[in-house]
Structure 1
Amino acid sequence: MSDYQNNPPPPPVGDASSEERQWAMFGHLSALTGVVTGGVGNIVGPLVIWLVKKDTMSFAADQAKEALNFNITLAIVALALVVLSVVTLGIGLIVVIPLSIALGVAWLVLTIMAGIKANEGVTYRYPFTLRLIK
């Protein structure tokens, strides 16, 4: 199969209705609920929006799926940092703590940027994201 069949292109800029753009923004910003829920909302928020809108709003579903993939990728990286800390008996914290802070700031900035872009009707792709959900 060609790449086009596996990953159809997102809708062109300007094709999404204002309601669809708003749901796309919610798809990104719903990850911020993870701050309150101890990290669970980072994945559950975009997942719920993707599951609810995947059959009715293609742009919103695409952006929620992108947010879901980004947050799954960051969860994997966070787990790897925890494992590094444990395996090195805490010595790895010298590296893990600054990386965790940088990762948290990058997550917050990229999530907000993605929400703004989605609300403008622009397809946003997070950098360094594993596309696990197709």
Structure 2
Amino acid sequence: MTEQTNVVIPTSSEERTWAMLAHLSVLINLVTGLLGPVVALVIYLSYKDRSRYVAYHALQSLVLQLVAWVGFGAVTGIMWGIVGALSAILIGLCLIPFACAVTLVPLAVPVYGIVAAIETSQGRDFRYWLIGDWVRSTLEG
């Protein structure tokens, strides 16, 4: 792999394939509920010393999945709890559309993972919004 202006470029198709699989691990969550981050973590641990490109993309995928599934899961649970509690006094009924919108946010994550997988399979660098730069600085530091 070569490095130009803070962008890591893969040198082999194996690196591109493993980076793509790390991003596609988000789809495992649709079937198992929470095993996607485990797959991304295993890929990261396997490649952290062998390929900076694969390690970067696997760690990005891991962080995105933890934020989306665990973070938004907690927010969704809290939101529906508030709706349920306030429904006793009819105010919560007005909040049902907002709770539904919050519930649907994590469903966009697999689409974002597929876009990242396509980009990495073609050898391009991909950064998740707000996560990519943080992960890159973590790996460099």
For Structure 1 versus Structure 2, the TM-score category normalised by the shorter chain is 0.7 to 0.9
What does residue 89 of structure 1 align with?
84
Distance 1:132 1:60, change over 3 A: closer
**Of 1, 5, 11, which residue of structure 1 is paired with 2:8?**
11
Q: Which has the larger radius of gyration?
A: 2
How many angstroms apart in 2 are the aligned matches of 1:59 and 1:53? 9
* Equivalence map 1:43-62=2 (5 Å): 43-62=37-56
What does residue 98 of structure 1 align with?
101
Aligned partner letter, 1:122: R
Q: CA deviation at 1:19?
A: 0.5
Deviates more, 1:118-127 or 1:20-29: 118-127
How many angstroms apart in 2 are the aligned matches of 1:124 and 1:132? 12
How many angstroms apart in 2 are the aligned matches of 1:132 and 1:59? 12
How many angstroms apart in 2 are the aligned matches of 1:17 and 1:11? 12
Partner-residue secondary structure (3-state), 2:25: helix
Cα RMSD between the aligned structures?
2.3
How many angstroms apart in 2 are the aligned matches of 1:82 and 1:128? 24
Partner-residue secondary structure (3-state), 2:8: coil
* Equivalence map 1:1-134=2 (5 Å): 9-12=6-9, 15-38=10-33, 40-74=34-68, 75-89=70-84, 91=92, 92-104=95-107, 106-129=108-131, 131=134, 134=138
Residues 33-82 of structure 1 show CA distances to partners (whole Å, capped at 9, x for unaligned) of 111112x1231121111111111111111101111111111121221121
Deviates more, 1:116-125 or 1:71-80: 71-80
- The structure that is strand-richer by fraction is 2
How many angstroms apart in 2 are the aligned matches of 1:59 and 1:9? 11
Deviates more, 1:23-32 or 1:80-89: 80-89
- The structure that is helix-richer by fraction is 2
- List gaps (5 residues or longer) in structure 2: 86-91
- List gaps (5 residues or longer) in structure 1: 1-7
- TM-score of the two chains, using structure 1 as the length reference: 0.79
- Moved >6 Å (runs of 4+): none
Tell me: higher relative CO, structure 1 or 2? Use CA pairs within 8 A at least 6 residues apart: 1
Residues 4-44 of structure 1 show CA distances to partners (whole Å, capped at 9, x for unaligned) of xxxx93413xx431000000001100121111112x12311
